[in-house]
A and B are shown apart, each in its own frame.
Chain A
Amino acid sequence: MPSIRTKEFTPRASEAINNPTIQESLGRLSNFRQGREEAIAEFGQERWDEYKKRAQEIKHETMEHLDHYLDMLSTNVERAGGHVFFAHDVQEANDYVAGVAQANNVKTVIKSKSMVSEEMGIADVLESMGIEPVETDLGEYIIQLAKEAPYHIIAPALHKSKEEVSELFERILGTPAQSDITALAAIARKVLREKFLKADMGMTGANFGVAETGTIVMVTNEGNGRMSSSLPKVHVATMGMERVIPRLADLSTFLPLLTRSATGQRITSYVSFATGPRRSDEEDGPEAFHLVILDNGRSNMLADPQLREALYCIRCGACLNACPVYSKVGGHAYGWVYPGPIGAVVTPSLVGVPIAKDLPFASTLCGACREVCPLNIDIPRMLLKLRSDANEGPKGTRKANRVEAMVMRGWRMTVGGPRMFTMAGKVATLLQWPLSRNRFLRRLPPPLSGWTRSRDFPKVAAKPFRSRWAAMALPPSKEGSDGD
């Protein structure tokens, strides 16, 4: 598993906010947002909503009978001549893949983009065995060279400017500086072509695993999913156990939602299907096909009715693009594989709330994520649940802050009745009296200093509304409310 750096959320967020190049890159998220909106407008809002509803129903059906559909998927992959391995955790998944690589005497592995393989950290495992893993998605390739984690679910190198990419290629590949994006892509293509041809194993993810046919479906724009799954003699696909869908026909619901939500495309350049290894009458394709299905904590989410719907996610990235927090702090602040709003739900659920406590709290709960999500996943509600788990969950799973908890108990007493409430207001007016002459406070002590670093804070009113109500409660005639 890649290192978990969720505890560094605040300093890494700060770094991003104060880095003008990163802020400029994050500004480009508006292209995704606009693309999505235009694509939906063209599709028709009403039709879009119907598709969303149908997708939700299919996911609901799948999750309610997940064991059944996973069993069907596995049976049909095996019927097509493939192997299926259910991995309880990352260790098991990595061991299995390492075993396959060893058995086939593999020297080079080409990989197409897969979040689950990031979750496994399989690249590091292969490297430690003396096997060269090569990312073949351009963005993934760039961050592999830079030794970084993906920045965005669908645009892993979103944060890199073309100057940075040129400098990176110059330093590592020894190619001359380039300012033209096409030329940079050409450099990568040339390097990757050679790797494609000599690789003895290909690893891909799976956007969908179709239960009724045993087919895995890869949605890409670069065709590298097809190359990775057909050129080498062994193809290993990894997927989270929630990627299964019941029927091939369900793709007609999910694909339009996925590509429009992700990039605003009607369809991506490549949608590749792989069902088992090459048949005897086929000309190309791998000799062996393995499907690794990963749990790694997903069963716990499935068992929790308040988190289950997070497994409906099709990883389109729309919630990242819409999120005001992600748009400022970027992907690395989230500290693990999955960034943004869905990451703030998935990461604490998979790695544990105590070490990822910042994530559910670092949200304004504005609801923009839920609004754009093609599966209507109620992320804000899940964040609230995780917040309360962090403060009030069972011992061992929570990470409460004593001082804050005390303040909250005080608050509860204060709002417990009008008398205490009024008194608290009076006390506050006395305390604030020496602090400022006008209606505002410019500086407050910690923890409220967080507010006054950029904002004035209003003083508590000398006479609260409840004390003014008596005067207002006089018969309306004196108010002159007959005027119209």
Chain B
Amino acid sequence: MAARKISLFVTCLVDQFYPEIGEATVRLLRHLGVEVDFPADQTCCGQVALNGGYRSHAVAVARRFVEIFRDSEAIVAPSGSCVTTVFTHYPELLSEFPELAGEVESLRNRTFELTQYLVDVLGVEEVGAFLPKPTRVAYHDCCHALRDLGVASQPRQLLQSIDGIELVELTDCESCCGFGGTFSVKYSEISTAILNEKLRNVDASGAEILTAVDASCLMHMGGAMRRQTMQARPMHIAELLASGLPGGACA
């Protein structure tokens, strides 16, 4: 495999709440021969403001993002929704800076969700991960990864290649978990009703691990799984794919 260089956009959520997902992402990429750098100026993609209806703030943060990553060969993030912000929304958000148009267009096409990068760009078929004991894992399709980026087969293909995994499909795997950013707080009762239906399907699948490409959706579902003391526990796909690889612990 040709040497590849990427810049990691770790996302603000992973940076502050789930640093181990960031570490797993780095381990996984390095294991596959990818050179990783971490532009230290990065913070957030602006999704929080965009979602909350504060477009002007989102524009400012998006501008920063473009400056920080302008020289990166490729940008990889362990998140489908942050990549969607760049891929789907940056052209419109930054439309008031016509001088940036070319750069934004190029940037959005160089920004990838982790599994998308591994499968679509690198052509990886298996990563060589293994689980210490046979484990039932269910994959949840996060909305933005699925519908904006077309990420559906890539994570499944990589998960299938893990030694010791039994991948099960959730009923209505493509339906939303009810997170939706500020929605989950502002419309807590509705969000919870949607979430509970999702969790019934997780439970029915008999999965021991629920995985996904977004830490935010897992924070949402996982937070309720913990509250309800369900048997399944959440784990980000980067951690599963890095499981058993050198330099880290097993899942």
Of listed A392, A442, A454, residue having the most chain B CB within 10 A: A454
A461→B16 contact, CB < 8 A: yes
Q: If the complex has contacts A362-B187, A418-B43, are A451 and B223 also in contact, measured as CB distance less than 8 A?
A: yes
**How many angstroms from the CA of A447 to the CA of B188 in the assembled complex?**
10
A13–B223 CB distance below 8 A:
no
B55 touches A388 (CB 8 A): yes
Check if B144 is an interface residue, CB within 8 A of chain A: yes
Q: A460-B17, A465-B19, A465-B22 are in contact. Are A412 and B60 (CB under 8 A)?
A: yes
A364 to chain B: closest residue by CB: B180
B interface, by DSSP: helix, strand, loop or mixed? Answer: helix
Q: A305: shortest Cβ distance to chain B, in Å?
A: 11
Contact yes or no, A465 B56, CB < 8 A? no
Alpha-carbon distance between A384 and B185 when the two chains are bound, in angstroms:
17
Q: Give the distance in Å from the alpha carbon of A64 to the alpha carbon of B170 in the complex.
A: 44
Contacts of A181 in B (CB 8 A): none
Is A455 engaged at the interface, CB distance under 8 Å to the other chain? yes
Contact of A450 among B12, B19, B184, B194 (CB under 8 A): B184
Interface stretch of the complex, out of A151-159, A198-206, A292-300, A475-483: A475-483
Q: In the complex, how many angstroms separate the beta carbon of B182 from the nearest chain A beta carbon?
A: 8
Identify which of B34-42, B96-104, B107-115 touches chain A.
B34-42
The digit string for B41-56, where 1 denotes a CB below 8 A from any CB of A, is 1111000111111111
Cβ of B175 within 8 Å of any chain A Cβ, yes or no, is yes
Q: Is A433 an interface residue (CB 8 A)?
A: no
> How far, in whole Å, are A473 and B26 apart by their CA atoms in the complex?
10
Q: Mark B17-29, 1 if CB is under 8 A from A, else 0.
A: 1110011001100
B164-200 toward A: CB 8 Å interface, digit per residue (1/0)?
Answer: 0000000000111011111111111111111110000
| Contact A484 to B17, CB < 8 A, known contacts A392-B55, A451-B188 | no
> In the bound complex, do residue A325 and residue B246 qualify as a contact, i.e. CB atoms below 8 Å apart?
no
Q: In chain B, what residue has the closest Cβ to A473?
A: B38
Tell which of B51, B174, B183, B247 touches A479, judged by Cβ atoms closer than 8 Å: B247
Q: Let me know if B31 is at the binding interface, CB within 8 A.
A: yes
Does A366 reach chain B (CB closer than 8 Å)? yes
- Alpha-carbon separation in the docked complex, A476 to B245 (Å): 14
> Is A325 within 8 A of B223, CB to CB?
no
Query: Which residues on the A side are within 8 Å of B143 (C-beta)?
Result: 364-368
CA distance A421 to B57 in the complex (A): 16
Selected contact of A17 from candidates B27, B53, B189, CB within 8 Å: B189
B133 at the interface (CB under 8 A from A): no
With a cutoff of 8 Å between Cβ atoms, the chain A residues found around residue B174 in the complex are 368
Query: A361 touches which one: B23, B53, B223 (CB < 8 A)?
Result: B53
Instruction: Show 26 A/B contacts (Cβ-Cβ < 8 Å), sorted by A.
Output: A17-B189, A324-B175, A328-B190, A361-B182, A364-B176, A364-B179, A365-B143, A365-B181, A367-B144, A368-B143, A368-B174, A408-B57, A411-B57, A412-B49, A440-B223, A440-B226, A448-B185, A450-B185, A453-B189, A453-B192, A455-B195, A456-B227, A464-B15, A464-B16, A468-B19, A481-B246
| For the complex of A and B, 6 pairs with smallest distance between CB atoms | A364-B180, A387-B53, A455-B223, A450-B188, A366-B176, A465-B22
Contacts from B to A (Cβ < 8 Å): 10, 12, 14-19, 22-23, 26-27, 30-31, 38, 40-44, 48-57, 60-61, 64, 89, 92, 128, 143-144, 147-148, 174-176, 178-196, 219-220, 223-224, 226-227, 245-247
